[in-house]
Amino acid sequence: AQTVTQSQPEMSVQEAETVTLSCTYDTSESDYYLFWYKQPPSRQMILVIRQEAYKQQNATENRFSVNFQKAAKSFSLKISDSQLGDAAMYFCAYSIRSGNTPLVFGKGTRLSVIA
Amino acid sequence: EAQVTQNPRYLITVTGKKLTVTCSQNMNHEYMSWYRQDPGLGLRQIYYSMNVEVTDKGDVPEGYKVSRKEKRNFPLILESPSPNQTSLYFCASGGVQGRDTGELFFGEGSRLTVL
């Protein structure tokens, strides 16, 4: 069974600084997706960034980028120039590319941003 | 506007009183799923549906039922709620793998309390 592990239950960062959230996963599949979702206090699940396993280039979305290490099964999220609005729970998630879409989540990392 | 709509958003009920949480999506997605979110456990899948009249158990299906009679709707039924079903519930939808981005679109969540 696929598993996703986020080893940092809580993190904090100073405003304008950079922070990296860790995620590792376990799978025997070779073709899959990886995601980072953000859940602010409003509870809405918001997609931050998405990576396709067959792409070696790391995905980037404005201040958000990932470090995807396929051999190590690692998928960390880097937030640059942190803003107060980045404070949220962040979930790493995985799904296989074929068949159904059983999005498997990690337990989350709560990020605090300090002004 | 593309969206997943859940109702009710908040509900307090008592043990044993049947309830239904509705979910509707307007994106013509084949795939729909229910998750529950509990502190320290992340999001866990309850049931999912690949298409109309096709449903399957997720990781934590006990105590829940679902149906998929129409493509747009996927209600979650608690026949006899118990206090351990107190949780935050999310409905999500997405395209079928291989023809889409793998992303799931989430509703705003339903906070259920069972006394």
**For the residues B27-48, what does the mean pLDDT come to?**
92
Judged on CB neighbours under 10 Å (0-12, 13-18, 19+), A65 is middle
Interface test with A, best of B37, B38, B54, B87 (most A CBs within 10 A): B37
Q: Is the pLDDT of residue A99 over 70?
A: no
Find, in chain A, the residue whose alpha carbon is nearest to that of B46. A102
In terms of residues, how long is chain B?
A: 115
Find, in chain A, the residue whose alpha carbon is nearest to that of B39. A107
| Alpha-carbon distances of B1 from A57, B102, B106, rounded to whole Å | 32, 20, 14
Q: Is the pLDDT of residue B109 over 90?
A: yes
Query: What confidence tens digit (pLDDT) does each residue in A41-95 have?
Result: 999 999 999 999 988 899 999 999 999 999 999 999 999 999 999 999 999 999 8
Confidence of residue A101 (pLDDT cuts 50, 70, 90): low
Interface test with A, best of B23, B97, B110 (most A CBs within 10 A): B97
Nearest to A41 by CA among A8, A86, A104: A86
Nearest to A104 by CA among A34, A46, A31: A34
Backbone angles phi, psi at A110, to 5 degrees: -90, 120
Query: What confidence tens digit (pLDDT) does each residue in B40-93 have?
Result: 888 999 999 988 999 999 999 999 999 999 999 999 999 999 999 999 999 999
User: Is A55 in CB contact (< 8 Å) with chain B?
Assistant: no
What pLDDT score does A2 carry? 76
State the sign of the Cα–Cα–Cα–Cα dihedral B108, B63, B56, A108: positive
What pLDDT score does B19 carry? 96
Nearest CB neighbour to A98, from listed B88, B97, B104: B97
DSSP one-letter string for A1-66: --EEE---SEEEEETTS-EEE--EEE-S-SSEEEEEEEE-TT---EEEEEEETT--SPPEETTEEE
Nearest to B14 by CA among B67, B86, B99, B94: B86
